[in-house]
Amino acid sequence: MHIYVYLVFCFLGCSALSQDQLDSIFSRLWELDKKGMEPYLDEQQPMKDTRLHKNKAPNVVPERFFSSINFDQLKRKKTIAVPPLLRHVIAFINLMDNYHMVLGIDETTTPEENVEINSFLEEVMKTEVMRETFRFLKSHGLTKSSELQFKEELRSLWFLYYRRKSSRDSSAFEHVFVGEIRDGEVSGYHNWIKFAMDEKEHKINYREYIKQVCGNRPSVISLIFRMRTGALKPFGSMFIGTSPELEMALYTVAFLSGVKNQRVKLGTCNAGITCHKLRYNMMGSCFVQT
């Protein structure tokens, strides 16, 4: 079932959208998510723009970037009493411990984890951001499904396992939002919520280089960091303060547009989105760039 749905999704998304169409939908989604997660992100520490020299990288150990996020509230497993605007975020956080970051270890999905994936997709499909994404894709012939079928297409696009180092050790969701480790190097890992969680749990030892764009409280950052295990992220980038559904929506549209590298205007922010396609038109990665 998943393979069939994914192939339909892919074939419908082979032709690229125009730049005007992309600008329009990206701006629309950005506006719908204007506040994003900022009400729950109490403070970001000011960051230093530490320049890397050609032959010498600095060893900077700044204060934590995220000084205060109410993870005790956001990590609750039962979402019945949680405000509707937070349920999709909690459902997203519940997915973070379902994966082995080290490539080469085949992933397995337990019945409980399947429930968590389904819960996340159901909550995401209730948001105006993802509903607008569905309407846009359908109006441009990139999906002909109902909203219910579109949810299954998202499941196949983002959660279907494929091979990077072993037969079932990766997925688009794991790579983009959770991150992976291969031969001592971090790949993917483009989500600020995951980064903030790892900071709070002392899984990140230090950052070496940070660049911010789009204001003093940035919407996009690029950085180098090292995990406590020693794995290095030689250069990474991520949105800040955005909701999980906005990032998933932007990357889904970008990937299906067929354009590998594109400049986008998100409010007052000019950034780039890059998507890499693997064999069988699987999503290898999508990420924002400063």
Terminal-to-terminal C-alpha distance of the chain: 38
pLDDT tens digits, residue range 84-93?
A: 667 888 899 9
Nearest to 249 by CA among 147, 144, 136: 136
pLDDT range class, residue 183, cuts 50, 70, 90: very high
How many other C-beta atoms are found inside a 10 Å radius of the C-beta of residue 60?
13
What is the pLDDT, as a whole number, of residue 17?
A: 83
Among 10-19, 115-124, 150-159, 185-194, the least confident range: 10-19
Greater model confidence, 114 or 19: 114
- pLDDT tens column, 204-222: 876 766 777 776 566 888 8
Catalytic residues: 175, 190, 233
pLDDT of 1 > 50? The answer is: no
Q: What is the pLDDT of residue 95?
A: 96
Between CA 104 and CA 165 the distance in angstroms is 5
> Who has greater pLDDT, 207 or 159?
159
Contact 269, 253 (CB under 8 A): no
